Amino acid sequence: MHMDSVIVAAIVLILYLRENKITFTLN
């Protein structure tokens, strides 16, 4: 199983969305 890859992908997406929210907030 590649559960580690799925977890890493989920974390990356969450961090990416967080950065976008911060950017939108600053704008």
Enter the pTM of the model: 0.56
DSSP of 1-27, one letter per residue? Answer: --HHHHHHHHHHHHHHHHHHHHHHHH-
Q: What is the pLDDT along the chain (27 residues), one digit of tens a residue?
A: 689 999 999 999 999 988 887 776 766
Which residue type, as a one-letter code, is found at position 13?
L
Task: Compute the distance between CA of residue 25 and CA of residue 8 in angstroms, rounded to an integer.
Answer: 26
Q: What is the pLDDT of residue 12?
A: 94
Q: What is the pLDDT of residue 9?
A: 95
